[in-house]
Structure 1
Amino acid sequence: MENALLRKHYAYSKIDQEDPEEIKHRQAQFLIQKILLQVDNRRKPSFLRIRMCKLRVRIGRRLKKLRKSMLLGISVARVRLYKQVISRMKTWRRLFHRGRGEPLLSLAPMFA
Structure 2
Amino acid sequence: MNLLMMNKRPYGYTRMEIEDPEDLKHRKAQFMIYKVMQQADFKKNTKQSASNLRVRICRLKVRIGNKLKRLRKSMLFNISVVRVCVCKQFMGQLKNWKGLIIGNRQNLPMNSTLPSHFLN
TM-score, normalised to structure 2's length? 0.47
Identify which of 54, 57, 64 aligns with 1:59.
64
Q: How does 1:1-112 map to 2 (within 5 A)?
A: 46-98=51-103, 102-103=105-106, 109=113
Flag structure 2 segments of 5+ consecutive residues without an equivalent.
Answer: 1-46, 115-120
User: 1-side partners of 2:85 and 2:72: how far apart?
Assistant: 20
After superposition, the Cα gap between the structure-2 partners of 1:103 and 1:64, relative to the gap in structure 1 and judged at 3 Å, is farther
Flag structure 1 segments of 5+ consecutive residues without an equivalent.
Answer: 1-42
* Superposition RMSD in Å: 2.9
Deviation sequence 1:50-80 (CA, Å, 0-9, x none): 0000000000100000000000000000000
After superposition, the Cα gap between the structure-2 partners of 1:105 and 1:57, relative to the gap in structure 1 and judged at 3 Å, is farther
Moved >6 Å (runs of 4+):
none
Helix, strand or coil: the match of 1:97?
helix
Return the structure number with greater relative CO, CA threshold 8 A, min gap 6.
Answer: 2
TM-score, normalised to structure 1's length? 0.50
Q: What is the percent sequence identity of the aligned residues? A: 45
Helix, strand or coil: the match of 2:105?
coil
